[in-house]
Structure 1
Amino acid sequence: MSRKSDGNLGEQQACEYLEQQGLQLIEKNFSCDIGEIDLVMQHQDILVFVEVKYRANENLATVVEQITEKQCRRIRQVAQFYLIKAKYNEHRTNLRFDVVAISGFPYELQWLPDAF
């Protein structure tokens, strides 16, 4: 499988898992000039931006460790753009940034709510 198809499959696995946990999908792969957010979901009254990290040959700790402060800043910037485009009031909207780390096959999945 290619890296892109592995990533897409990982995003699908993450989405299905989060839906089983009670989150509702709003949008997949929201992108703008700044970057992309893998999943935008709703969890009760919280708008959740989800970064999905997939690695085929590494343990979950290593996958999580690969999320840099620069990536976190970029995701926050993309989220601000999303809020404007989708006409949310960013000062009145409850936000959360989650990470779903997936490694190996069969998949091992770890959900980190409010990761950054």
Structure 2
Amino acid sequence: MDRLDAFADISIRRACAFVGLGAVTVMLSLSFDPVLAFRTGAEITAVLAVGLALAAWRAPRRNIRHTEVYAMLRGAGVPANWLSAEVNRAQIVAVLRARLAWHAERVAVTAVMLWAIALFFWLLRPG
């Protein structure tokens, strides 16, 4: 179970890192206006949180053979007959759904923090 959690976390965090890289790049390009930069970062982060929540909601109906976690498990030497058993499939889906929901919550909190920073800079604006 720990290995399954680790593989799910690696897969989710890799996707979040790519979105985060894009968000930081956009925020840096808008650094001339801190309010706009942080608000844009918050919006991108909120879209990521919604995407993770939708992925968690969709996880039980998704074919696990089309997930990165399945590929990681196969690469780690887990036999295909273990992965195809219904009990183990349900376990993989449950872990994937729980980890996606956990990451969605953290990303949503990050979006709220970015919005709070944008509000702070907006309040500091002169005039």
Same fold (TM over 0.5): no
Larger strand proportion of the pair: 1
- Greater RCO structure (CA 8 Å; 6+ sep): 2
User: Under a length normalisation based on structure 2, what TM-score does the superposition of the two structures give?
Assistant: 0.29
